[in-house]
Structures are given as C-alpha cells and as structure tokens.
Amino acid sequence: MRRSILAFAALVVAGPALAADAPALRRDKVVTSTELQSDVAVLRQAYEQLHPGLYRYNTKAEMDAAFDDLRQRFGRDRSLADAFLELSTFAARIRCGHTYPNFFNQKKAVAEALFQGRDRLPFYFRWLGGRMVVVRDFTPGKTLPPGTEVLSLDGTPVRQILDRLLTVARADGHSDAKRVSSMEVVGDSRYEAFDIYFPLLFPKTGGPFQLVVRSPRSATATPLAVEPLSYADRLAAIQTAEEARKGGDGPSFEWKTLDGGVALLKMANWALYDTKWDWKAWLAERLDALSASGAPALVIDLRGNEGGLDVGNEILPRLVREDVKVATYRRLVRYRETPPELDAALDTWDPSFKKWGAAATELAEPWPTAPPVHYFALNRYDDEPGGDVIRPAGKPFRGRVYVLVDASNSSATFQFAQLVQEKKLGTLVGEPTGGNRRGINGGAFFFLRLPKSGLEMDVPLIGTFPATAMPDGGLTPDVAVTTTAEDIAQGRDPFLAAVAR
C-alpha cells in the first residue's frame, strides 16, 4: 500500500537545553550581516543540493532570485526576530508545506525568546471568508462569545493582517485555503502559526489589545480592550490533551454512535509517534464491531488533522472488495550522500538519511513530472511492483463512508482523502483540502541548524511526483460545506448536517 510522504513529518528533535546559568536569549539580539550572509550560503547549498521540491513550483531562475533577495535583505545587521521573519518569507516562496523555520525544531533558547511572550489574543478564532470569527473566548468576563466578528486589532483591519500573514504561511503549490487555515488559532497545538507570527509582524510594547468587534446579536461595531494571554495561559487550555497524546496510553480518537446507528470516528491528530496507546488494536476492534453490526454508515471526521502516521492504511483495506491499484507516485531524492561540509549543520533522527546508498538509483530516463534537475529514484519503502496496491483485510465494511475534510488536511490525511475520492470508496464532505495533487515533499527530514544565527530550517528529503500531469491544488469535496459565523454562534455543525441530508 502507498506510504505517506509525511510518515515522520510531525516528529521533532528537541533543541539542546540551556545551561542553568546561561543568560536568556532576547528576540532583539543583533545578528550581524556577516553572520547572516554566512548562513545564507549554508542554506543555499543545502537546499540546492538536497531539497527535492525546490523547483517544483519555481524555475531555477526564480529561486536564484529568491536567494539573491534574501542575501540582499541580510545586507545589514538584523535582530533575531527579523532574521526569523526573513527566513519564513523566503521559505514561503518555495511553496512547500514542509519547508519553513519549524517552531518545534528551534533551540530551546530561540523558542523561549521568539515564541513564548505575553502576546496571545485571548480567544480562538477561524477565518471565514476573510473575516476573523471567534470560536472560543478566554477573556475573564466572557466578552467575546462564539460567533463574534473581530473587525480590527490595534487599529489594523483584520483583512490587512491576514494578507501580511499569508506572506509567511506555508502550503504546497497554490493550495491557498491551507495558507489561510494555517493562520487560525483553534487550540490544536502548543505552537500555532498566528501566535508566532502576529506578534513579530505587528509588535506592541505592552498593554491590552484594542479591538473593534461585532457581536453575533448586533450589527453595531463596538470598541473593546482585552488583556493578552501568556504562552503558559495558551498552553494551559490544551495541556491535558497534549500530555495524553504524548506518552499517554489513553485513546486519542473518539467513537460515537449517532442517530440511526451511524458511527462517527473523530480523529483530530495522527501524530502518534510517541504514544503508548495501541491505536491499531483500538481501531480494529471498533471497525470489526461496526462491520458485524450492519451499521448503515461510517463518518470519519478528519477536520483539523494535518497528518502524521498512516492511520488511514488501517481503514482502507476494510473498504475495498478486491485489490485496488493506486496511481503511481515516484519517490525521488536529489542526492546519494550529503556533502561533508554540510554534515555538521544537518540534524535528524535517522543518520542513514545522510547516505542513501543502494536505495538511491539512477533513473533510466527523467521522471515526466519532475523538474529538469538531476534526481535519483528512492527504493527504500517497499513499493509494490508497478505501483502500490490496497488489498482487502479485516472484516469488510459494507455501509456508506463519509469523510469530513477541510484545508488542514495536507499530508497523510490528504493522501487518505485522495484515495477515498479517486477509488470511490466514500464521499468527501466539507471544504477544499490542503496538500497538492502534484505531490508533496517530506518522508525524511534534515533539521538544518544555521551555524551563525542559531536558527533552524526544515529540509524535506523525499519528493513524490505523479506519473502524469496533475492539477496544482488540493481536493474539491464531493459535497461542499461552508461554515458561517451564525453556525458558530448557534453551535451548529454544518458538516454533520450535510451528511444527515
């Protein structure tokens, strides 16, 4: 069966701990132009020689210009925060959802300096048609009920804020819905991109946020001052869930029975690398019981789930009645062995990534959808001859299958949804997905630690490319759903309502 290109995308390597007497790093620490220029040289060599998707959406001339522009921007001394922003802007130009200065892979001192201030908005929100709509309120007086629209922050219209944020947002190709989705705050991670970038792009010296809001039951815009939350405040709301997911032995998925015997399987996260919970056994037990019950339908809720492990591989064999061949995507890499001068800067969880050896072989001819640079075929992950195959296994489920999707689905969940739709194994319900039908980059990673600034940049190592040309974008659901501010205010779930219809 097809392996996820992001089998390890959510795995992170913790940065080294600070010595007890080490001074705290500050976001305004000056990094000299000479140091930054040196880092650009390392970054350029690593990306040009190792990154499989550098030219997937840009020509070489365009990427040369991007590197030259970054070098020019580092032609003067910059603060650590400014350097981080410039690297983020550069990475966004590559249009790879797994190429960025990863929040989770920065050194502990960098994370504390840049990501852990008292600068969080006291609410969760979604972007709905360019509008910032509150979904959960953390203000002491509960002054921002769900469904409230925030019109401006500290005098800046939220549409202008979103446009600026999109210059650092990561996504594959032109999957712009993913870029917008990535800048929501919904409590699904200890670091969310908006919480990182908004304070850096729109810094303030202290005091409350000055909002202009419109409540769900009023057409009048009202000014409102709200106190910011600290990083610890933000983390407290999800601490229990994070602890349960990391090293816990309890279920991370939810299973419910809805009206008419319909089963709902909600999976908010497939990043289960370090869990003690036997999720495969849990899932198999419930799917077997579902098949035996004769239930009319199974609803798989993947909203908010970017990916992680190939959990979908435990479900797909129960949905097919015969072997189903999957469209061929070729795994390609740019190197056989890393340049020795880069090795000191390349951190990873598996040192074998530095030398693919016999697993990387010359292509007999260029792969038709790959960029016109030299690639090796990677034969490390047990491809089926002539293409991957989904084979029936377990107790087959004969009812209808609905998969709830949104723009967050961009790696393993995107690939699962793609197979469900292409092979007509179920119905996709919801919003356009992230990911990209042209293939994505991931599977194995280096954490490039830039020697002078101390900042980290992720380098995906395996690119997947389809055998024939594909559209530049994610998946369009079979049944489209639009969430409104009124849905949020009333606590309605339009996705499940669409399934019920």
- Within this chain, domains 116-237 and 241-319+396-437+472-500 share the same CATH topology: no
Q: How many degrees, rounded to 5, is the angle at CA 162 between CA 56 and CA 184? A: 85
> In this structure, which long-range contacts are made by residues 81-89, counting pairs with CB atoms below 8 Å and at least 24 apart in sequence?
81/27, 81/28, 81/114, 81/200, 83/31, 83/36, 83/453, 83/455, 84/110, 84/114, 84/200, 84/455, 85/168, 85/197, 85/200, 85/201, 87/43, 87/455, 87/457, 88/168, 88/197, 89/167, 89/168
Tens of pLDDT along 23-36?
589 999 999 999 99
Q: What is the largest CA-CA distance in the chain?
A: 68
Q: 97-155 pLDDT, tens per residue?
A: 999 999 999 999 999 999 999 999 999 999 999 999 999 999 999 999 999 999 999 99
Distance CA 393, CA 9 (A): 27
State the helix-helix crossing angle for 80-94 and 33-50, rounded to 10 degrees: 20
Both structure tokens of 315: 């479900």
pLDDT digits (tens, 9 = 90+) for 339-388: 999 999 999 999 999 999 999 999 999 999 999 999 999 998 655 444 57
Alpha-carbon distance 280 to 251, whole Å? Answer: 11
Q: Does domain 241-319+396-437+472-500 have CATH number 3.90.226.10?
A: yes
At residue 146, φ and ψ (nearest 5 deg) are -50, 140
What does the buried/exposed string (b/e) look like for 56-75 if buried means 16 or more CB atoms within 10 Å of the residue's CB? bbbeeeebeebbeebbebbe
Structure token digits, residue 189: 């991670």
Burial (Cβ within 10 Å: 0-12, 13-18, ≥19) of residue 3 = buried
- Give CA–CA dist 235/112, Å, rounded: 14
- Domain 116-237, what architecture? Roll (2.30)
Residue 8: predicted pLDDT: 41
Closest among 43, 35, 48, 46 to 82, alpha carbons compared = 35
The pLDDT value recorded for residue 243 is 67
Domain borders along the chain are 11-115+331-385+444-469, 116-237, 241-319+396-437+472-500
Among 325, 265, 307, 309, which Cα is nearest to 435's? 307
Chain segment 474-489, per-residue pLDDT in tens: 999 999 999 999 999 9
pLDDT-based confidence at residue 13 (cuts at 50, 70, 90): very low
Residue pair 94/53 in contact (Cβ under 8 Å)? The answer is yes
Interacting residues of 240 by C-beta distance below 8 A, sequence separation 6+: none
Q: Which helix (H) or strand (E) holds 447?
A: strand 441-449
Bridge partners (DSSP) of residue 446 are 459
Give 84's contacts (C-beta < 8 A, 6+ positions apart).
Answer: 101, 110, 114, 200, 455
The predicted-structure confidence for 3-12, as pLDDT tens digits, reads as follows: 444 444 444 4
| Three state DSSP letters for 322-340 | CCEECCCEEEEECCCECCH
| CA gyration radius, the chain | 23
Query: Which pLDDT belongs to residue 115?
Result: 97
What contacts 237, CB < 8 A, 6 or more positions away? 138, 187
pLDDT, one tens digit per residue, over 174-198 is: 999 999 999 999 998 999 999 999 9
What single-letter DSSP state applies at residue 421?
Answer: H
Is the pLDDT at 472 greater than 90? The verdict is: yes
User: Which tokens belong to 418?
Assistant: 């793609």
Q: How many CB atoms lie within 10 A of CB 154?
A: 13
46-92 confidence digits (pLDDT tens): 999 999 999 999 999 999 999 999 999 999 999 999 999 999 999 99
One DSSP character per residue, 193-233 reads HHHHHHHHHS---SS-EEEEEE-TT-SS-EEEEEPPBPHHH
CA distance 165 to 197: 7
DSSP string, 97-164: TT-S--GGGS-HHHHHHHH-SS-B-SEEEEEETTEEEEEEE-STT--S-TTPEEEEETTEEHHHHHHH
One-letter amino acid at 181 equals S
